[in-house]
Amino acid sequence: MTAKQDATLRRTVLEKMYLARAFEDCISALAAEQGRLPGMQILATGQEAAAAAALALGKDDVMVTNHRSHVHLLARGADPKTLLAEIMGKESGVNHGKSGTLHLIVPEVNALMTSTVVGASPLLALGAAFAQQYKETNALTMVFFGDGAAAEGSVHEAMNMAGVWKLPLLFVCENNCWAGAQSFKEHCSAGNIASRASSYGMPGELVNGNDPDDVLNTALELASMCRDGRGPALMELTTYRMHGHGEYDKQHYVDPAEIEFWAERDPIVMFSSRLEQEGVLGEGQAEAMRREAADKVAEALKFADESPYPAPEAALEHVWASPEHI
Amino acid sequence: MREVHTGVAIREALTLAMEMDDRVFLAGEGIGVSIHDNPLMPTYGLLETFGRRRVKDTPVSEAAIAGLAVGASTMGLLPVVEIMFFPFITLASDMLVNHAGKLRYLSGGKSSFPLTVRVKAGMFGAGCQHSHNLEAWLAHAPGLKLAFPSCPADAKGLLLSAIFDPDPVIIVEDMGLYWMQGPAPEGDVRVPLGKAAVKRPGADATVVGYGRAVLAALEAASELEAEGVSVEVIDLRSLVPLDRETILESLSRTGRLVTVHDATKFCGFGAELAAIAAEEGFASLKAPVVRVAGPDIPVPFSPPLQEFYMPNAQKIAAAVRSIL
Ligand SMILES: Cc1ncc(C[n+]2csc(CCOP(=O)(O)OP(=O)(O)O)c2C)c(N)n1
Ligand SMILES: [Mg+2]
């Protein structure tokens, strides 16, 4: 099956992209209000086509993600209510206020591990993929990491070992052109990440990361290879972080023309009009999807706002499985 | 004396060292071009001043940053490298613990590793993978010196000493201090490694801490003064080497010791201080040593939970009261 043939899946991709955009627009607006949100806010605005990769997964597949995770988690089916409550540090948050935005973990949707330690997620995914192979399941693990993360030794170790053991592990590198204030050219010695795949004996695909069809088709194809026992694969999504590193980042080091260039390639604008042109979406359907996403986020915000903070002593919970040890 | 922000004082040390000695270079993630366009950040503007030869923005590669420092230092350079946040020291730890701290010894004293690692630390609402003070790990590794300043003058003076020290030195910068002002001398005024400072004299109890916790201890001391309790506050400034004399001398007068740090309690640096009091100051002790520290949990994200975690003046004052 290719995505082109599957109209339902493509509509779901767009739906999730709208949801992620609305969710992050809400966070962005809250972050602009003094004292409204604790900590830092790291958004994936502009990178929503990555939702298509997450949607290539089946229910039993595992996802591992990083500090810029909202798109991945929402696409996977995480509840925006408990995600937003977590980001606000509320008791009802998906991780009871222990995590905040940087390491949202949603086992309910098989997003079992998240790390804000750059380059750590591929190592975690290695273990998950090993377990899948060991248990002879038909499932795979998909791991998201950034272009900057690819400079960590951990990523090389994960790729090599996964290659040697032919683990069902799909590496998804979101190359958003920047790692903090360092441009891709400055921090990477090669022209792309995907070409590294051959060094580890796996297929590597360079994908237009702002085109959900490209992302979905490649992800489906590579995922089925992983499932067939042919070992790991790597896909690199070329995309752009429209809001800078975090909401506090004024991007003083970025050429405004570069931001404009990518603004004209907004994946949501492009994909919604493509689906309309192809008749996959009828008149007014895209707009209805956008409104539905906005409603879900408004509901999430109400839920998060009305939720209480955890009691201070709750800090002591969840360190151990056996609480008597603390 | 003029007042400067700690971040600026650190930059003065870096600037002076680079002006004085071409062997000094800087490397780290975003130390040249940073997402923080803020003149209070220590490395702000240094790329413009010293150029790309001496101010090196690196890829996100902590092991390589630390390895760079080890290798370049034994070649005669004086590297000053930055680890962006304390928990990421774990990624650099092989180069620091197994190499920077051991290669001189392994060489029978023939090789030297005069490197400096600046580590940014603090609890700032980012959760436990950004906030985790691991100074006790580092202090436990032979061959590494370790400093943890609490004010602009020490941040500057200790860094200058570290850069020109013949051994590897790790210096922890509490980021909250960057935005705080205090007196600091101009020019090349160094603070020796291994020398504590008595921040406030007192007679009834000794509170020993380092970094941000010293400010909380001073606040607690003022609070207790109003109750007629006289507290001596010692700022260790260096953890390795450790100024035992200053601690023991103070203890011999007050007979009571409270230790304080933001790191967790179990096997924290306070345990070493308590052991020193027990081994070497036993005769002076009038009461048990009390350790004020974070509970043995990862630093939580949610504001009330982080608040619960943090040692503060009230907790320190309560600890002192408990042994009067
Ligand atoms: C080990 C480690 N080093 C440094 C950081 C600080 N940091 C957070 S995000 C980031 C940039 C990562 O870039 P990339 O992997 O491209 O992901 P992006 O932020 O662009 O999504 C850095 C350096 C970190 N979180 N972990
Ligand atoms: Mg990036």
**Those residues with Cβ within 8 angstroms of residue B179's Cβ, 6 or more apart along the chain or in another chain:** B5, B6, B7, B40
Q: What domains lie within chain B, and their CATH numbers?
A: 2-184 (3.40.50.970), 197-323 (3.40.50.920)
Taking contacts as CB-CB distances below 8 angstroms, the residues of chain A near B63 are: 152-153
Please give the Cα distance from B134 to B121 (Å, whole number): 9
Q: What domains lie within chain A, and their CATH numbers?
A: 3-307 (3.40.50.970)
Ligand nearest to the CA of A245: 1
Residue type, B29: E
A312–B307 CB contact, under 8 Å: yes
Residue among A69, A72, A118 whose CB has most ligand 1 atoms within 8 A, to mutate:
A118
What digits encode the pLDDT tens for the residues B39-75? 999 999 999 999 999 999 999 999 999 999 999 999 9
Distance from CA of B6 to the nearest CA of A (A): 22
Q: Looking at residue B26, what is its pLDDT?
A: 99
d(CA A180, ligand 1 centre) in Å: 6
Distance from CA of A233 to the nearest CA of B (A): 23
The closest CB to that of A39, out of B34, B64, B126, belongs to: B126
Please give the Cα distance from A82 to A16 (Å, whole number): 16
Flag whether pLDDT at A8 surpasses 70. yes
Residue type, B306: Q
What digits encode the pLDDT tens for the residues B152-173? 999 999 999 999 999 999 999 9
What digits encode the pLDDT tens for the residues B172-228? 999 999 999 999 999 999 999 999 999 999 999 999 999 999 999 999 999 999 999
Going from the C-alpha of A70 to that of each of A19, A75, A83, B43, B219, the distances in angstroms are 10, 8, 9, 32, 41
Q: Does A148 sit in the ligand 1 pocket, CB within 6 Å?
A: yes
The closest CB to that of B127, out of A100, A152, A182, belongs to: A100
> What is the DSSP code (8-state) at residue A103?
G
Is the ipTM higher than 0.90? The answer is yes
pLDDT band at A322 (very low <50, low <70, confident <90, very high): confident
Put simply, whether B34 touches A (Cβ < 8 Å) is yes
The closest CB to that of A99, out of B124, B301, B304, belongs to: B301
Q: Name the residue among B223, B220, B225, B226 with its Cα closest to residue B203.
A: B225
What digits encode the pLDDT tens for the residues A100-117? 999 999 999 999 999 999
Helix/strand/coil (H, E, C) string of chain B?
Answer: CCEEEHHHHHHHHHHHHHHHCCCEEEEECCCCCCCCCCCCCCCCCHHHHHCCCCEEECCCCHHHHHHHHHHHHHCCCEEEEEECCHHHHHHHHHHHHHHHCCHHHHCCCCCCCCCEEEEEECCCCCCCCCCCCCHHHHHHCCCCEEECCCCHHHHHHHHHHHHCCCCCEEEEEEHHHHHCEEECCCCCCCCCCCCCEEEECCCCEEEEECCHHHHHHHHHHHHHHCCCCCEEEEECCEEECCCHHHHHHHHHHHCCEEEEEEEECCCCHHHHHHHHHHHHCHHHCCCCCEEEEECCCCCCCCHHHHHHHCCCHHHHHHHHHCCC
For residue A195, the tally of other CB atoms under 10 A from its CB is 13
Taking contacts as CB-CB distances below 8 angstroms, the residues of chain A near B134 are: none
pTM of the model: 0.97
A38–B125 CB contact, under 8 Å: yes
Please give the Cα distance from B27 to B25 (Å, whole number): 7
